[in-house]
Amino acid sequence: MSNFDEVNDYVSRTYHYHVNARQDMNSMPPLINPRIPRALSHQARVAGKRLAEARCNQIVAPWDATCPPVRVEDCSTPMRIQIAPAIVVDSAGRIILWYLPNVLSTEYEDLMWNETAGINNLFRANPPNPRPGTSWRNQARNFLPQQPDHSLHPGCISMSPGWFQRGQTDAGGVDDAQISSVDRAPVAPLAA
């Protein structure tokens, strides 16, 4: 079993331990192979725990995810600020969103931040749009303003290699997957 498989298995066992801990008070938390680096085992333990916390904290959306509403009727209700891990499920109980704050340790957040810094130019090229009639994905009111202590610019990009045109006016059915223009672009060979 590879380290990746062992860590994946450990996250799964930790998740199940925390979900079932309320019913079985005598259960013991899972152990991880001591060869796994300490920081990685800590990250796996935190991830399993946060996933379980989210699973036990459901927020039910009043619609079916297979046919989401075209528009929200009442935007005057104040938004609920969610600080604990949670899942959002549709009216049929299908998970449509996992909210997992603090699931990554500072070390992994820094690693991810440094590795994704290059996408900032894409965000800068696709800033939020304040004009009426703009797609909800890029409406300025859905973005925080540029923060002086952050180098990341607010913006909207799609990084999916295939996406459904749900919500598009010229879309066909749900099964009409499109390949994004980024993935249709020619790929230069890697230099050795």
Residue 158 clears pLDDT 60, i.e. is over it: yes
List pLDDT tens digits, range 10-47. 888 888 888 887 666 666 778 888 888 888 888 888 88
List pLDDT tens digits, range 171-187. 444 444 444 444 444 43
Q: Which residue pairs from 18-24 have beta carbons closer than 8 angstroms and sit at least 24 positions apart in sequence? A: 18/48, 18/49, 18/52, 18/53, 19/52, 19/55, 19/56
Phi, psi of 87 (to 5 degrees): -120, 145
Residue 71 clears pLDDT 80, i.e. is over it: no
Tokens read off for 134: 């703009």
pLDDT at 54: 92
Q: Which has more pLDDT, 174 or 76?
A: 76
Q: How many residues does the chain have?
A: 192
List pLDDT tens digits, range 78-136. 566 778 999 999 889 999 889 999 888 888 888 888 888 888 888 888 888 888 887 77
Tokens read off for 54: 């989210």
Helix (H) or strand (E) holding 51: helix 38-55
Q: What residue segments make up the domains of the chain, in order of their start?
A: 116-161
58: Cβ–Cβ under 8 A, 6 or more apart, which residues?
86, 87, 88, 89
**Span 160-173, mean pLDDT?**
50
DSSP 144: P
pTM assigned to the model: 0.58
pLDDT at 176: 45
pLDDT at 70: 64
pLDDT at 172: 44
pLDDT at 5: 84
Tokens read off for 139: 């409406």
Helix (DSSP H) and strand (DSSP E) numbers for the chain: 5, 5
Band (pLDDT 50/70/90 cuts) for residue 66 is confident
Cα 13 from Cα 141, distance rounded (Å): 40
Average pLDDT, the chain: 75
